[in-house]
Structure 1
Amino acid sequence: MYDKEKIIKNFSPLIKSSIKKYFANYISYEDAYQDGVVKILELLESYKGGGKVSLECYLKYQLKYFYMQKFFKRKLENEKTYTKIYQTKDDETIEVLELIVDENIDIQKDIETNEMIKKVREIVSTLPQKQKEVIEYKFYENLKNKEIAERMKIKEDTVKEYYKIAKKKLKDKFIENGIDIKE
């Protein structure tokens, strides 16, 4: 039905560019390339022509998506693995990538996140009452300025002013406490 060799030849540059983009330091380029060829062959089997999407477009986006998924899966695995170095009898050093998940990585990230949230809440609690309320309503309850004004029984412009002042104070306090802020 399809000239598979011609299709693979035509999509070879896309496979190569995807590998370079997502797997710059990939140990086996040839394995990654073969994965792409196999994926194209699978896609040819599953493609049902006659729709709004051409074969070329279908293959292009499915192949890119395939490599992106593979990249992110590999990245997650690498974040959860660790390397051990062994010394052999002949004094050769061998690095072995242990594929055992290091559960402490996720726990450590959770602890750091919780500590950061706690620190931010402590800093917010140092604001004057009205400014603190505006920040809490805005960020912890996701209320709009109009809703905050109704709850606090003040004008919307006053909410904006409290927010502007609180934001400046918080920015300064975050910098003092070594909290990285992104605007």
Structure 2
Amino acid sequence: MVPPRTSRTALLSLLGVLALAGTAAAQNLESAQQLSPVFRAGVSFLIDLVVGGILVAAAPAYTRDAIAEIRDDPGGSFLWGLGIGIGGLIVLVLLAITIIGLLVAIPGFLAFILLGIVGGALATVLLGSLVTGTASGGSPPLGVSVAVGALIAAVLSLVPIIGGVILFVVDTLGLGVVGRNLIRSWV
């Protein structure tokens, strides 16, 4: 007995679609060009160097105190950084839902970005001071710490998973100490 023609046609159509599914799934849908990882690391190095240099030049005493605070209580600084990073964004997004809250949320987002930039610069100096302090056995100059920290952060940004995790932890430490000091100054 010969199967009906419609089931054979449906089966062949299904096999044709399944055969093309692999080809369709393998297509690259990204239309934007990707930047070279080395280029991104170079830009990261320059940004960290400039922003860290500004922080060190503008507030060297604050930078030394903040690094000492992170060394004294790294767990607390990390938890503060997580709380400010996650909690701050949730509060700002909830504020942005209403029109009146949007008036507060827009400057809040700008302040949050500035807080992240200062925390990242502090993290760069911290990373450099940890490496150069270990190597020299003492307290290194802040300028050297900025340069070494920017270089290490750029190299870590090239390492796929571990580098990202290390940079996240160090940046969270910087955000935590800056946020904690800011909240202490308000209270």
Same fold (TM over 0.5): no
Q: Which has the higher contact order (CA 8 A, sep 6+)?
A: 2
What band does the TM-score fall into relative to the shorter chain?
Answer: under 0.3
Decide which structure has greater strand share: 1
TM-score when scaled to structure 2? 0.24
**Which structure would you say has the larger Rg?**
1
Decide which structure has greater helix share: 2
TM-score when scaled to structure 1? 0.24
